[in-house]
Structures are given as structure tokens and as C-alpha cells.
Amino acid sequence: MTLYQPFLDAAIALIKNRLDLQYYPIPEGFELKEATVGKGKNPKKIVTTSYAFSSPKLRQIRAAHVQGGNSLQVFNFVIFPHLNFDLPFFGADLVTLPGGHLMALDMQPLFGGDTDYEGKYSW
């Protein structure tokens, strides 16, 4: 198991338990990608998996997981609501590189230019 696999498993289990999900199409070949990077004695295998769903209020829920051993670990999770709902976009990124960790949570309004709307989701 990799560092962020528990986050991926928990996120998918939670949304499947709480939402009426349908699968959202992922372009062919992007559900699972594998590559070997680096030269010489220490080539590294990188595996990327992607998952996507939709629900009646959420047009896309996407998770991507990059597993690169000690060299690279990434978990990306985003939620885009349907445009007719007054909901913001949500994003989370968990990244680990040899030098440390980066964690970012992001919530953005979907539309700009409307001061009242932006005031609900911006500080």
C-alpha cells in the first residue's frame, strides 16, 4: 500500500455510501497508466490510477493517484457541481516528494463578476 491509498479508498467509499453515483467517462487509457522513469541502476515504476463519477448535483467527482515509491506520491481529488447549483468547486492535493510534503485544499467560486456570489465563497 502507498502513502495516499487510504485517502483514496476512504474518499471513494464515502461518496459511494452518501451519493447516488454514476460513472463519469475517463478517456480510454487513462484509468491506469504505468511508466518506468530514470536511467541506470535505479529506474522507478510510476503508476497512475484515475476514477471519475457524477451525481445529480455534482457533474464530476474525480480522483487521481500517482504512486512512485519513495520518489513521488500524489493524491488529487476534485468536485465540480452542476452549473445550476449555487455550490463552489472543491479541490484537494496531497503531494510527497523526497524533500517533503505539500497539502493544499481549495474551494473556488464557479463564476466571476457577481459580487454577491463571490462574497459567499471568497474572503
pLDDT in tens, 91-118: 999 999 999 999 999 887 766 666 776 6
User: What distances in angstroms separate CA 33 from CA 60, 65, 68, 72, one per listed residue?
Assistant: 21, 10, 12, 15
> Radius of gyration of the chain from Cα atoms?
17
* Confidence check: pLDDT of 90 > 60: yes
| pLDDT the model gives residue 123 | 63
Give phi and psi for 65, each to the nearest 5. Answer: -135, 120
pLDDT in tens, 10-34: 999 999 999 999 999 999 999 999 9
How many whole angstroms separate alpha carbon 1 and alpha carbon 13?
Answer: 17
CATH top-level class for 5-21+43-121?
A: alpha beta
Using DSSP's 3-state secondary structure scheme, residue 1 falls into coil
Q: How many other CB atoms are there within 10 angstroms of residue 29's CB atom?
A: 7
- Percentage of the chain lying above the pLDDT 90 cut: 65
* Confidence check: pLDDT of 1 > 60: no
Q: What is the mean pLDDT of the chain?
A: 89
Section 59-80 average pLDDT: 94
How many whole angstroms separate alpha carbon 35 and alpha carbon 72?
Answer: 13
Binned at pLDDT 50, 70 and 90, residue 88 comes out as: confident
